[in-house]
Structure 1
């Protein structure tokens, strides 16, 4: 066991003895062993395993362990006696294993081969270890047996009787019977639907035939219509070609007129262009004159405007000169006043400067004295600051050292806590996972090898199926062809016998039941036609007991040639025929009725068989009178004539048809047998292929599961290895960190003590220096007050001197600025005076008299040029008028050309349309495969397109009136008929199968009833024997609650010593337990199970009853191996081996095994020692 409930670690329990006891305190997991056996044997009810779901069997974890991912239990059986039947009986050891993962996958194995749950249950059917196991008695099962209803008790009897396998067979048979009946119903429904389909298909086939007839007529009329339309199109094309030639002649005449107008137009254009150039030249001269006139007018306008501008400038310059003159006068007055003020300010500045220098001389001595005092005070202060800094440094060091020591202690405690919290890897689990991984890899390799080997078989199986299917199709085709041929031949043969005018006459005279002659004879193969040629209508002759009957036929003569013969004729052979050297034709005939032999020998007297015409002709002269030769083809040659045979009606060839019918029936029978054999062979091959594919799919699924399992194992191993590595690394890191912390803590404690001593010394020194500094600072303060008063005086004198000097500099600056402004104003006056003089000179130079004279000359020239330009333009306009007239005539001609071209194009399009129609109708006739000559002969002289269109429309309407037409109805009808025949055969096969299955169920019920009756009697007898042993007397028996043992329940009637007979429900608790144990052991006695598991069965028993119970178990252990759980000392003493279950680790069970004999021997040795 591994991961099953509390057995989380791989646990092996070796059950070597016949009596093995399991002991341990309450809650240690003893009953989990019983649950494990139930589970691995296929138990699927969680309630039977004391859980709510199947996943409850997987170890759910504890406070110290994580939940397991899978549960695995394996039982190993010793099969050296070969008690296991079936395919697994060949193994001396059988290992049954079940694995369940939290993902929900439950897998079963037998000898490491993956199997189904049902395969495991099949092994233990009828052994008391099945789903209704009475050999595994868990906690409370005794109570359930006691409280069980009669129907539930019967299940234990069935398990003991071993009828569970019969029940399984009956259930499978019922399932197959249900499926067969379902198939029969489906086939019946299909046949019913097929009958309806056949009726519809017959109607559809007739409709399709009518459709084909109408379609053929419609196609013929359509071809005639196309031929007529082609002829009409050819005629129209010829007429349009003539019209195109006529219209093209008119177009050529219009084109010639067009060319003439264009030549005249080109000549006139040249003249017009020359006149246009003259106009352009005159116009250019006029433009030149106008340009010169414009230039002179611009010059005159410029002179006038310049004169006005200069006059305005002279007025402006005069005003500016007056303004600048006034400013110069103002600036000179202000400068004179400033010079007077400057003298006064110089005297005030000298007085303030002398006072400042006098007071400033007193300051250096006082400042030097104060600086010396301040330097001394600063030195004292610096020394105090140094002391304070040393104190601050020492305090900071002391604080840092304390913090470091606290942090060191905190970190040390944290590291110790981390060390305790590190997850310790489970190395045993790692070793187990590695071993399981190796096993999984081996299993995966085996699965892949098995899958590849199975896949290699698939092409062979598929090829076998294809080959069988091909042969089956060929056989089916041969059967269908033979059936059709047989049906046709038999219909002809029956028609030959049962139709015609003679049939009514024969029935009238009571002769219809008389067989015709040909049915009682057989002729050698190849001579059938010859026999019919010789006998003619006599081949249908009927035998009468006496020819006297034929007298009555004279009153009612047969309507056709009819022959009768006397069936009581004697067998006489003519000697003359026997002496002839030729082979008698009658010798080739075999008779099924010897009474007709003399009749045929008489009719065939003188008829000799011969193989070839040449031989017959060469030997005909040797024939006696009345004799003849007969050839296989039916030709007759006598001495004087040759008669050639030819079949005249269906009645001919009756012998050959009959022989062909016989041959076809034999061949058809062989093919049917071959068909049945091939169908079975195909089904078998197909079934084997499906089984192989299913097996491959199953193996592939197992391979995927195994791959996933291997992947999960690898991930678990990697996680555990990583966890182990991290555990080692973290442990080493923590140990190293702890050592470093201890060393660091010792150093810091020494440093902290030194800093505390130094702080005390610095505090004393700081107090002394602070007192000295306070006394000295009072002296410095007095000197600073004296210096402050003197500085204030010096500062006031300095401000007065600076103010006087500032006012002096400001006045000097203003005087300099006034001098510059005067100079600038004088320059402006000079510049304005110069501009004024220059403007007066320019105004005198402006004169436009010459320009006015030149302008008048140019105006006269322009007038002359305008008159010449007007004459040139008039000549040009005249030429333009002529040009327009000529262009209009050309345009008129051109306009006539386009309609003519359009007219020709229109006629050409009509001609092209007619040509296309001819080609289209030619193509249609070609595609339809029409015979042009035949159509021309069929076409009437006065044929009209509308007549054919009307006829085609009528045919199309009639075709449309047919509605939807199934053109494949005939083929579908044939296929449906064949399918109906096949389904009728299936219907009969399914009916036979149902009868067989019902008979099998009745046979199973008979066997089950007999087996249960015998078992009931034997168990009753065993119960009567065991009950007194357990109770020390008394009586008990089983009784049925009904008449039918297959459905009846079972009750237990018990009578302990000294009590009246009562049901088990009226007994005490201990008596109930003993009665149930007696019943279980009675079942064991009838059908001993290989082993038995008992879970605290002896709990309600006292010591006396426990001793009797122990004695019985010891006695039965000779046939059955017992593994029992008990807290009773007496029960423990009977064990050969004790298995102890402990739970030292909370929630985890472990095993301790003790061999009682070995322990006793060891005790004896100790006592002797």
Structure 2
């Protein structure tokens, strides 16, 4: 790449948009001190990514934005753009395909900085990456200034190695190694996290395996329970369907009876509708008669209104006729007046045409004399302009010299003020106190010992807290186990009570018992007390008699026998000696005898059992015993939970006390560490103050030496400028005398020209006045003609309107309207007679309709009892349908297989037995305890996750090995490349040094065994010297040595271009000649842009760019092509 153009806008002193074209290989930038030459170098360094304000000779990055001057306001932004010729495609990365590359940076006053490559917004790193390994960049060796030359040659070995690495092009290797190390650290962290997760997941899989086994058994029990429950619902739905059919038959019978009554009602309603239709027809006739009457009234009103309108219209027409006659006379009078005015304006128009012809002739004569006066004026004006231009140029040169003198004087004053400030600062610099540093070190050591002691006490308390936390966790687990056991017992007890309540619940039987006042009586099973283990034996003997009710009155039993229960039921008499007859006409049976009737009802000496389908009585007594035992167990478990809670609270209280002590110890450690940290900071600040004192002292002395040199150059420039200003002032005085003489002749010509122009203007005004008079006459004549035409049209329209009004007045419509009004009055009288007859017919039809309505109401009264009976039957059918729908809905909700249930129902036990099996399965499920139903899915998901994590761990381990190999490979390649670069640069340095010095020797020495970490030291011995250190060389020898080293780097890795800022300042003429010869040779491969005050260096330039400051604080560029200047000089000489 080759730099072809630099564009600056608002950067430091380049306030206006400025373009610097650099087409050649050797381009020199020249100009006086302080004109802004070095700002060009700063601009290139800044756009390549420099972010240090000190490197750009400022205190902050905002200092690069133009901050205003005496005549200009500050700007809000600065921008610099570099344009490169990339025809050979040497740019790195994606930019190699572009023939021209633009790199631009913009900085706003608010601190926002933006970078662009070919107009695309990029990061700062993208620009740095594009120039990696090319010697360019904010800290590279391809941009050299006078201070940088000194820093290179006096740099530490580790700092000098950076330039060697840049020449070797390993910046990109180091960046790749840094990225690889970052990825390796991330990969190792990810691997550690995955290993922890795998360990936790293995323990979790063991727990899930046990939970999955329990979940499998639960699903088996639950599936069987669902089947039994669905069979029970299927059987009860079947019973509900049978009951629904029975009620449907009864509803059909009552409905037929109701339909017969409805048929009679419909016949009567038909007669009612006929009578109502007749009534409606009479009503329509009445409405028609009324409408006819309304129409007749409207017709009478219309004729009356029309008569009034016709009379008003005749009066209006008579008024309009009179008005039109008056207007016609007025218009005819106006037309006569306009005709008279038309003759007058025609005479005036002839006079105006004669005056206009005379004025035009005079205007032609005056215009013919005007060019001669104008030519004389222009000749005098050209002489005056030429003289004035010469004077302005001389004054401009004088102002430029005066501005330059002012700038030099201000520079001298600034240097003097800076010298005084630096001398004052050097005197006031105070060396830090050594005794304070020793005291801080002793205090830091004492605080270190205090921190260690506090940490030992903290570790002891931490161990005690950990032990208490373990005991508290164990107590918490014990409490949780007790609570879970208690909750399980409570849940089991609640389940058994629900099953017991469901076994007792029989809605039809409960209604029957409530109806007979037996609902509150206790059951037999509630009075029995059975030894544990004999419950099933008692159930097998008593069966449905377990629900027997105790009756003490025979009369109540008689009422029960009269109304049989809807389900199985039993009653027994109180006491074994009861001998009262059960019902009249029956004698007591013998003891032990049983009588069974055809319906299955059983009679004994003391009991009566009514037969019905089986109920869910299985396990009733066992469940009652289990409920009592669980109730007692729950109370014991509650006490156990309370004791565990007390123990857990006590351990938590002890742990809280230890935690508070531990927190106090932590606070003590933190406070001591803070004091230690403050002491270390004070110690560090003192060390930094010592370092700043040493560095600032050296810097101030160096700046004072530099100020003295600049002051000497400024005094010489100030003397030269004053002499030039005196010469220009004499030239200005001569030009001012000449200007006064030329101005007198020009004033006379200007006066003659003004007189002639006034004569022409007067002739033009006379001609215009005559023309305006002629045009006014023509306009008035046209206006009068137009008015005559308008009045003629008005007279014609008035004649037409007058004839029309006369015709309308002749036609009189009033008699015809009055005749129509009389006919309408007669029609209204006929309509009133018809309306009276229609009202009589409506009253007769209404009477007949009322009689039929009364007969219909009598029949509807007979239908009410039938409808009530049908409603009762419908409610019973709906109740059966509700039961059917309820069981059907439960089957649908359970997604039951109807075909399977139909097959299973044929060989399934009775509903009571099904209920017993359901209770047994529910107990088995309850015995399983808490079940994690998601364990199977969690187990499968966890196994899949473990497999995925195992695969990830293997991939990460492989990635770690790959990244470690990549780092070793990068180190090996970097080491080889750096060694080759060191040898090549050392060889070039050894050959260029004698070239620049005319003899002597120089070499580079590697300080360290590992080349990646070793520093580079420069050894140089000019001709005739045997110095042991480079610091013993003079300033010029150091500069030549640094130039030899930098150019050695260039020969190895030539940068696209090189910027040199007064690097030849410390060289004498002979050394400058050798330096220029070397630069010319290297210009074959590298483009050089250099700033110099040395005439020998200027002579080697192919193009000179002059930087001036004609306006205070504002730099401007003047470019000079040396080849073009030589060509013009040869042409002039020829």
TM over 0.5, yes or no? no
Give 1 or 2 for the bigger CA radius of gyration. Answer: 1
Bin the TM-score by the shorter chain. Answer: 0.3 to 0.5
Q: TM-score, normalised by structure 1?
A: 0.39
